[in-house]
Structure formats: structure tokens, C-alpha cells
Structure 1
Amino acid sequence: MVQSTMGSGYRQGIGARQIYEALRDQILGGVFGTDGPLPSSRALALELGVSRTTVTAAHEQLLAEGFITVRQGRRPRVASAVVDRDVCRKPSKSARPIRLSAYGERIRTAAPWGRTEAGTLIADFRYGDLAPSDFPAALWKRAINAAMARRPERLTYGDPQGSRRLRTALQGYLWRSRTLRCDPEQIIIVNGSQQGLDLCARLFLDPGDRFVIENPCYAMARQIFAATGASPVPIAVDDDGLRTDLLAGTGARLAYVTPSHQFPLGGVMPIPRRHRLIEWARQHDACVIEDDYDSEYRYDINPVPPLHGLEDSDNVIYLGTISKTLSPTLRIGYLVVPHGLQDAFARAKRLTDRHSPATEQEALAALIEGGVYESHVRRMRRLNGERRRTLLDALRVTFGDRIAVEGANAGLHIVVRFPDVPRRLEPDLIETARRVGVGVRSIAPLYDSGADAVLVDHVSLMLGYSALDTRQIERGVHLLAEAFGQVRARA
């Protein structure tokens, strides 16, 4: 009976779902046998102390799934079709896994990404996070409410390129902030920069192709291009970004670059090198993906015009995002593509997810049109500039000339190198820092695993600061020094 499976202590608050699951398991386990009768709804209701309606609901679910047959005035019986119970049981541990496609295997075997437990650290210097207090919640809520109040005549799928209103607003914003000239038709709204990279990978790379990637680089860009079956060609960077003198002979179909603030080292590509990159792309019929991921944050340097703004830049695709200004949770980014490619990108976007969420697009358009977004960006630049100064001062006071700092002129992170501390101590340092309450991460995984990885022979950490207040930053640097002391004492 069902009672023996559920136990006497399980009767309190029993529902139709529990009765259904118990009967199903007993049927699959052979308790009743093929064409065997089940307890009647009246008998089972009395036994379990529930209403007949509850038992009937369980029977109806079993009937709908083909486990039982029911006749008027007779007890339910196990359906004769339920014969090979082994087919219905959970697969054994020795069962073969479902075969993935070549793309799926490349994704499955890619390097894992780090996860951090929320609220467990005193100061987490993880790059990419923003402080919740920085988000303009009241302004965003007002814009969302206004967008929701505009009732359309009917609900329909939107333009895969994105809201015309938002694309027009972005056209003006890009000209004001980056001197980038484009038409609204060239702009494709995407669900964050990651989807923009995915569309580029799908449209430009086939298995066996080659793509140029900075070394070190944004790891998820390398992974998403490699997932197509294309092979990376890592090109070293220096203080001026990607070394364009190494592009000859690569045979690459695509180059991914972060010229305005190289990720993660922070170099800014000068104009002559930018022209050489564009000339290489033009001569080899290649495409350049320009990721301008944090162009809003400039502290000690003036903005450099984007590649897309230079002459003969028809081979350049510009990628932008609001993840570093508003929130990464909103998943809004944009591509600026050459006129001849806008239809291909729109079709690829439509096949991927039809279009990005309409309400959020309208809300962002309203913020840009009213000048609210740019006012918020100025506020964020000031706040993150203060965080940056606090971090640099704390590092200088705590570590002195034992460290070298890179990439501090722009962006939301810095790279801190400890030239006298061998890299073999890095895993112990990162774990010790976590135990004392500080989250830090190595830049070593951002390098290609080939020959150039030998460049990282000492401890090198990437410290993001945009999610922390000044007190957390100061406390975090103090605790990092404490962790260093413990590791050096053990070495």
C-alpha cells in the first residue's frame, strides 16, 4: 500500500503530488504488477487521512501519463503498456553520456570561470562588479514605468536590430562621447557585449579559420571564437597595446582588440598603430572587432578616437556596452557594423533570440535623450576616480616600491605585479587572502598557454575596485598585505 512507502509520519499535510509520486514509483517498482489493481480512491483516502478529491487528482495524473487505466465503478489498474520498467527507471551510472556536437565538446572542455560566494568576503577585488549604491534606481524605475505606460496597439515581435528610438539615441551619444559617426541603421542592439561577440564569431569564423587575439586577453572572447572551431593566434601586447608588427603571416580572418584600454594590462594603442591594424585588415580581407568596453572611464589620459572613427575603417565592428556604467544585469550592449553587414547581423540576431527586451530599450533611450545617462556617467567617473585614488594610495603606502602597477590611467581595474615574489606562491597567496577575507585573482589565466605564458613568472594580480567603497578598499589592501606576510613566512 502507499502507506508503507510514505511512512506514518508523512501523512501530515499530504497532497496529490506526493500520492501520485508514491503510486508511480510503486508501479515502476513492480509492486502492483502489470494490469494489477491499485487501491480505490475511497480506501486510499481513508488510509491516508485525505479527501477523495486529493486521491482522484493523483489518479488523474497517472491516467494522463499512461500509468493506469480507469473504468467507471472499478478500481484503477496498471496499464498493460507499462511493461519494460527498466526503460522508465533512472539510468545507471555506467550509462553513456549524451553525445555533444563538436561545438558542445569545445564548450564543455573550455576553462571554467570563477565563482564567488556573495557576502563571504570583507573586500572582493573582482573585476566587472559594480556597487549597488551606484545604480540610479529611482531614475531607472521612472523610465521603466514610463515605457510600460505607453500601451502599444498590439503586442508583437520587435525589430531584431533593436528599438529605432534607442539606436537613434545611441547614434547621438556615440558622437558626443567618442566622436564616432554612424547611422542608426548600422547599430545592432544585443544582450550584452558577450552576445555581440557570439554574433561576430558565427558570422566570420568557420572551423579551421584563424583569429588574432591579444596576449593576454579577455578570456571569454578567446573562448567564444575558439568554440567555432577556429584557432587562436595570440599576439603579444606592450605599453601601446597589440603589436601590429607581428600580424604579418598570421592568415587570420578576424582580429579581436581592446585598443582604447587593453584588457587587462591597460595599454592605449596610438594612432599610427591603429592605422597599421586597419591597413592589415583591409589588405587581408579580415575583420577587426573593437571592444570599447570601458571607454567612459578616463582619468589621467585624454580619449583616443576609436578605430571605427578613422578613415578606411569599413572592416571594423565597434562593440559597446552599458554593463560598466549602469549594470551588467541589464544585458544591453550594441554593435556598430559596416553598412554592407547590417542585414546579416540583423538576421543572425533574429535567429538567436528574435530581439532584445523592448521595455529596457525604451527606458535606456529615454535616459539618453534626457541627458540623464550622461549625467550618471559623469557621476560614475567621479566615484570610480575616487576609488582608484584610494586603491593606488593604499598600495603605495602598504607595499611601497615592492610592486609595479599597470593600467591605472583608465578603466575599473588595475594590474599589480610583485616582481620579487615567484609565481609558484600565487595559489597559496590567493587562498590565504580569501581566508583572511580578501578576493584577488591572477592574470596568468588570461595569457595563452603557449610560449608567451613564461612572461608571467612572478605574482601578478588584477584588482577591480568599482564595487567597493573606500573603506573596503583600504581594509582589503591591509588584509592582502597580511596574507602576503603569512605566505612569505611559509615559503
Structure 2
Amino acid sequence: MLYIDRESGLPLYEQIYTSFVREILSGSLAAGDRLPATRKLAEELSVGRNTVDKAYQQLAAEGYIEPRIGSGFTVNEIPLQLSSGAPSYSPREQDAPPSRPPARYDFAYGSVDNSVFPHDQWRKSVNNALSAMELEQTIQYPCRQGELVLRQEIARYLQRSRGVVCDPDQMVITCGQQHSMEIIANIFENSSKNFAMEEPGYDGIRAIFANHHFQLHPVAVESDGISIPAVKKLNADLLYVTPSHQFPTGAVLPIAKRRQLLSWAQETETYLIEDDYDSELRYYTNPIPSLQSLDIHDRTIYTGTFSKSLAPSMRTAYIVFPKSLLPAYRSYYHRYNSQVSPLHQLALADFIGCGGYERHINRLRTVYRKKQAALLAGLEKVFGDTISVSGGGAGIHLLLNVKSPFSQEELIERAERIGIRFYSTEVLYIEPQNCPRSQLLLGFPTIPEEAFMGILEDLRDAWEIEG
């Protein structure tokens, strides 16, 4: 028996969702039971069919129910916890801080759509890796720089897709991009410790160098990437850049600027850290050649990760050092063992070698291109010229600037009230006062494509923007 309280202030779909969660967890709705058809339930509750559909989609996303062809939505098998009484609130509220329950839709940057992950092929690659390990006569520590077969496969892939020129001996396998930066910071421990990076830029990178007591220098970003005049004023040991898809603005550094940047690095003996974090995810043009592929002076430290293309939980990334830095790396890390599981390394090598990775990337582009196109079309239809967007055509995020009297914090708070979560971009600025007043970062992979229009219409009302 569902009850809607129109005076409670809670969204109607949230009330429907919560009622079904309570019924499922109490056992009133058992595994295999069918939920009412969306049209029938909408009529019974005197609400819109879209309202019921939103509640069902959230229940399905969290695994309480699943759609079945010809049967509508049915309840999944949910292990029940013994309790002295029915739960008074849902598990998602129990798992979250009391002041901030989980949102219906979370635009967190960095999360990826699990439904696109190539589970079957990855399972085969893991089994192949286990078989290869079983054939070994001894179990020993892996190569300190990472499994040779994986470094060979990544080197071949980077040559094909990004023009990166390197030997496997130049590569180090790491357990994530921040681990890569930790290694770089350590081998520059005896430098003057001046670190420059784009403004705005990824705060997770900045934190590494701040913790190593580097002096941080912000460098302005223009519509076509990092400002070369600002770069030329620097006195730095390291300059961190995202030239193929600047984070978070989405700007692409043109060839002329790339050559100027490389010339400056050679003249000043500065090393460039090129973070190619999502280079494969370009939707309407070919991937942009890497900065490293143009570098004839050996000044570029090339870094990449599988977090955006496969899964952040896989914790696998890599560094391609210029040959001039290999002695420094080996001097510092000559007694450090690899931090990445050999099983994961061998499975990934098999996955790349059999062509599974490139097939997965092609599918990923198709899925995310459609999602981004739906989001952009919805933004245009619902908000028109009251929102400006940057970063389209690539990647898994967009940067929004909202023409609104509300500040960034007020926009986020108003969205939170209706179960839609956004995140401040202020943390992406070394100098927070440079952050635009009404700017928001949207990571879109985990949001269902069909949900965008309803979300945006709700936001328009919450933000009091005229339609």
C-alpha cells in the first residue's frame, strides 16, 4: 500500500522509491514479485507516469528490481538482515553521512558506467593470466617496473593510438595516476621544488606535490589550452599539462602552442608532465596526437591511466619516462617492488594483446557519445542561452557556467534538495578567487540517457530559471 504525502516537501518519486524499498526489505515484496505497471500505478496515485518511472529506474539502478521483457519490473533476491522490526529508513541512508543522504542522480566526475565494462572478455583474460601463472615453476616477486609483457603491449598500443615513441624499458606500471605523481615527486626531491600546473586543474595532482612541499604555481588556461605567455614567465622544474583534453575546461592545445611549449621546456630545462587521462574518448574526430610524440628534446614525462577507459577500481596506470630521467628513477626506486598485482597486469596484457581493449574503447565511445549528445541536447532545450557549456565532443564530463543570480554553492544546494548532486569547481583552483561564480562540473557516465530531460527540467525549476 503506497501513500503519497503531497505536503511533505519530498519529491513524489522519492516517496514512491522509499515505499518500495521498505516493502522489499521487510519481505512484504518477495523475490520474483512483479511491481505494478507504471501506467497503472500512476493512475492509482494520481501522479505522472514519468514520476513512477523515475522511482522504478532508481530502484533498478540500486539492484532492488530488474526489468524483464514481457513481465515489467520484478523484485530481485535481496539478503534480509535480522531485525527486531522493519527498517525505518533505507540502506542508502544508513551508508551515508546523516547530513547528506545519497542522491537520486550523482554527477560525480570519474565514475564510469559498469554496464559497458567488458565482463566476459575480461574474465577470459583473467583466466588466461591464471593459467600462465600456473605454468610457472616458481612464484617470485614481479619485475619492479611492472610485468614486461604488459609494458610491451602498452608501448605498442600507445605507438598505434597516440604516436608515443618509447621502449618498454622507459615504462613503469603504477597503481593509479596519483601513484605516478608520487614517483615523479620523489625523483625531483632534490630539485628547487617548483611545480607549475594549469589553473583550473586536477586538485588530486596538486595535493601530491603540496604534500611533498613543492612550491605551487598556477598557470592560466585560455580557450585553446594553457597560456604560453604565462608559461614563459615561469621558473619551474616541472609543468603539469593536459594538452589533449584540458581538465576541466576540455580545451585542446593546438599544434603551434605545443611546439612553443616544447621549445620553452628545452630552453629552460623544465620537464613537462603530460597527463593523457582520457585521450581515447574523442567522439567526432580522431584522438589528438600526444605532446610526447612531438618532443625531440626528451623533456616530456608521459602518463596515462586505465581508470576512465576500464575502471577506476582497477588501479592501473603507467609512466613513460624520457631516457634522461631513467637513471634518477632507478637510483631512487632500485629496491622498491611493483605495487600492482601481477594477476591484473598479466590479465590486462592479454586483454590488450587479443584486441579486446580496442574493441572496448570503440564501444565506449559509442555509448558515451550518445549520452553526451543527449545531455547537450537537453541542456539546449531546457536552458537555452542561460547556460554555456565547454568540453563537448570528448571525455566523460562537461563544464557548465550558469547565468543565474545564485552562487555555485546555492546552485549545488538547491539541486541537492531535489536529489541531484553536483560538485564545486572551486577545489580545482590553486587561487579559489579565480573560480567563476556559477560554474559546475558534470560527470555523466553513470546517469541513464533517458533520465537527462527529467533531471534538467527539475533543475530548471529548482534554479528558478525561466523556460
Question: Per the shorter chain, which TM-score range?
Answer: 0.7 to 0.9
2:178 is the alignment partner of 1:202: no
CA offset digits 1:224-264 (Å, max 9, x no partner): 11111111110100111111211234211110000001100
RMSD, matched Cα: 2.3
Out of 410, 415, 418, the residue aligned to residue 394 of structure 2 is 410
- Is residue 2:111 matched to residue 1:129? yes
Instruction: State the secondary structure of the residue aligned to 1:289.
Output: strand
Partner of 1:284: 268
- The structure having more radius of gyration, on CA atoms, is 1
Contact 1:123–1:439 (Cα < 8 Å) also in 2: yes
Is the CA contact (8 Å cut-off) linking 2:180 and 2:318 kept in structure 1? Answer: yes
Equivalent residues in 2 for 1:24-43 (5 A)?
none
CA distance in 1, matches of 2:108, 2:334: 34
The separation in 1 between residues aligned to 2:151 and 2:117, in whole angstroms, is 22
* Maintained 8 Å contact 2:272/2:299: yes
Distance 1:157 1:306 in 2: 33
For residue 430 of structure 1, what is the aligned residue in structure 2? Answer: 412
- 8 Å CA contact 2:200, 2:248 repeated in 1: yes
State the match for 1:361 in structure 2.
345
Distance, in Å, in 1 between the alignment partners of 2:332 and 2:305 is: 19
Change (3 A) 1:464 1:349: farther
Residue 308 to residue 118, structure 1, CA distance change in 2 (3 Å): farther
> Which residue of 2 is the match for residue 463 of structure 1?
442
Q: Aligned partner of 2:128: which letter?
A: A
TM-score after normalising by structure 1: 0.71
Deviations 1:44-100 (A, max 9, x none): xxxxxxxxxxxxxxxxxxxxxxxxxxxxxxxxxxxxxxxxxxxxxxxxxxxxxxxxx
Provide the secondary structure at the position in 2 that maps to 1:156. Answer: coil
Contact kept, 8 Å, 1:416 with 1:462, in 2: the verdict is yes
Alpha-carbon deviation of 1:305?
Answer: 1.5
Q: Is the 8 A contact 1:298 1:411 kept in 2?
A: yes
- Tell me: CA distance 1:422–1:313, structure 2 relative to 1, closer, same or farther (3 Å): farther
Q: State the secondary structure of the residue aligned to 1:485.
A: coil
2:125 alignment counterpart = 143
Runs of 5+ unmatched residues, structure 2: 1-95
Instruction: Provide closer, same or farther for how the CA distance between residues 118 and 458 of structure 1 changes in structure 2, counting only shifts above 3 A.
Output: closer
**Corresponding letter in the other structure for 2:123:** K
Q: Which residue of 2 aligns with 1:42?
A: none
Structure 1 unmatched ranges of 5 or more = 1-113
> Please, which of 363, 368, 379 is the counterpart of residue 379 of structure 1?
363
Query: Is contact 1:419-1:458 (8 Å) kept?
Result: no
Are the counterparts in 1 of residues 225 and 243 from structure 2 also a CA contact under 8 Å? yes
Counterpart in 2 of 1:190? Answer: 174
Per the alignment, in what secondary structure is the counterpart of residue 329 of structure 2?
Answer: helix
String of CA shifts for 1:81-134, please: whole Å, max 9, x gaps. Answer: xxxxxxxxxxxxxxxxxxxxxxxxxxxxxxxxx999999322111110011111
1:388 aligns with 2:367: no
Q: 1:477 aligns with which of 433, 456, 460?
A: 456
When residues 147 and 338 of structure 1 are mapped into structure 2, their CA distance, relative to the original with a 3 A threshold, is same
Aligned CA distance change for structure 1 residues 129 and 200 (closer, same or farther; 3 Å):
same
Residues in 1 aligned to 2:208 and 2:247: alpha-carbon distance in whole angstroms = 16
- Count of paired positions: 369
SS in structure 2 opposite 1:282? helix
**How far is the alpha carbon of 1:455 from its aligned partner?**
4.1
Alignment of 1:213-224 (within 5 A): 213-224=197-208
Shift of 1:389: 0.5
2:435 alignment partner AA: V
2:157 maps to 173
Aligned equivalents of 1:410, 1:351: Cα separation in 2: 40
TM-score, length-normalised on structure 2?
0.75
Shift of 1:428: 2.5
For the residues of structure 2 that align with 1:305 and 1:116, how far apart are their CA atoms?
Answer: 47
- Shift of residue 414 of structure 1? 0.5
Question: What code does the residue aligned with 2:418 have?
Answer: V
Q: 1:345–1:147: structure 2 CA closer, same or farther, 3 Å change rule?
A: same
Residue type of the partner of 1:385? R
1:207 positional shift: 8.1
Residue 181 of structure 1, CA deviation: 1.7
Q: Using a 3 Å threshold, how does the CA distance of structure 1 residues 142 and 303 change in structure 2: closer, same or farther?
A: closer
Identity %: 35
Instruction: Supply the distance in 2 between the matched residues of 1:351 and 1:301 (Cα, whole angstroms).
Output: 44
Contact 1:122 1:476 in 2 (8 A): no
Amino acid at match of 1:188: V
**Structure 1 residues 427 and 116, CA gap change in structure 2 (3 angstroms):** farther
Alignment match of 2:293 (pick from 306, 309, 315) = 309
Matched-pair contact (CA < 8 Å) for 2:193–2:214: yes
The residue type equivalent to 1:430 in the other structure is I
Q: Measure the CA separation in 2 of the matches of 1:351 and 1:420.
A: 56
Tell me by how many angstroms 1:361 deviates: 0.6
Question: Could you tell me how far apart the structure 2 residues matched to 1:363 and 1:350 are?
Answer: 25
Q: Residue 464 of structure 2: SS of its match in structure 1?
A: helix
Question: What letter is aligned with 1:484?
Answer: W
Contact 1:212 1:254 survives alignment (8 Å): yes
